Amino acid sequence: MRRNLSALIALLTQLDEVEDIGLTTNGMLLKAHAQDLYQAGLRRLNISLDALDPPLFGQINGRGIKPAYILENIAYAQKMGFEIKVNMVVQKGINDQEIIPMARYFKDNGITLRFIEFMDVGNDNGWSFKKVVTKKEMYEMLKEEFELEPVDPHYFGEVAKLYRYTDNGAQVGFITSVSESFCSSCTRARLSSEGTFYSCLFASSGFDLKKMIRDGASDLELREKICQLWEHRADRYSDERTEWTAKNRKKIGMSYIGG
């Protein structure tokens, strides 16, 4: 994690142009940093958690970390006033049996859980269509247990398709990058920590904005460059995804540019 993250967030919140800041995290260090982050002005957290079963979660995180530890941190941050969403990447045969326990737990705690269809991020995560549990399949499972109604998108390009539990109003969502791709309404640019601009999560290369800045480009020139890059983008990887592209197209790792 970047050193002095809360200092960076405090600077960003002072900019009028920045309307919203969220942090995506595995939640490991939340207890230690939540207070500083909140004081710096951060209000939104996306926390990754793929299972509630301790051995399974330990296996997925590769370090034997217990889900109870992350859940404690989530509860701590929730009490502090953060708006929290939990992201669960679902893989067939790995953690799909956790869909209902996860839904129940976060419904009861009033936290939005978003099920993410397993994607071929990076170049070596072993992805195949066979490992994807689609939104349709997950929705059918949930409907056996809970009564749900659709929620209208909050803004153009919202990635999750949201539903509300009719009995307590908690929400649950699906990110359908594989079964119902949404490239035509994608509004997300990404900037790596090294200052490279990417117009797609699955891009193979980006544009070196840092070099432009170091070479003395003005704010206007930077703005024009970013507009030009965005207007000329032809990214639609999720529309085009096949087993072949998953194996053969070179992509930037997700840990490098964010989800």
Order of strands, edge to edge, in the sheet holding 112-117?
Answer: 22-25, 44-48, 83-90, 112-117, 171-175, 161-165, 148-150
Provide the token pair at 17: 């142009």
Helix ranges (DSSP H) in the chain: 5-13, 30-40, 54-61, 67-80, 99-108, 135-145, 209-214, 219-231, 237-240, 243-248, 254-257
53, 96, 158, 235: which one binds ligand SF4 (CB under 6 A): 235
CB of 177 to ligand SF4, least distance (A): 6
256 contacts ligand SF4 (rule: CB under 6 A): no
How far is the C-alpha of 17 from the C-alpha of 78, rounded, in Å?
A: 27
Residues 256 and 259: their CA atoms lie apart, in Å, by 9
**Which range binds ligand SF4 by CB under 6 A, 10-18, 53-61, 67-75, 230-238?**
230-238
Cα separation, 44 vs 18, in Å, equals 14
Candidates 67, 165, 238, 257; binder of ligand SF4 (CB under 6 A) is 238
CA nearest to 120, candidates 232, 225, 242:
242
* Smallest separation, CB 249 to ligand SF4 (Å): 11
Cβ closest to ligand SF4, residue 72 vs residue 235: 235
Considering only residues 146-205, where is the footprint of ligand SF4 by CB under 6 A? 182-183, 186, 188, 200-202
- What are the beta bridge partners of residue 98? none
**Quick one: which segment of 166-174, 204-212, 221-229, 231-239 binds ligand SF4 (CB under 6 A)?**
231-239
139 lines the binding site for ligand SF4 (CB under 6 A): no
236 binds ligand SF4 (CB under 6 A): yes
CB of 43 to ligand SF4, least distance (A): 24
User: Total residues contacting ligand SF4 (rule CB under 6 A)?
Assistant: 11
Residue 60 or residue 178: which is nearer to ligand SF4 going by CB?
178
Question: Rule CB under 6 A: which residues touch ligand SF4?
Answer: 182-183, 186, 188, 200-202, 235-238
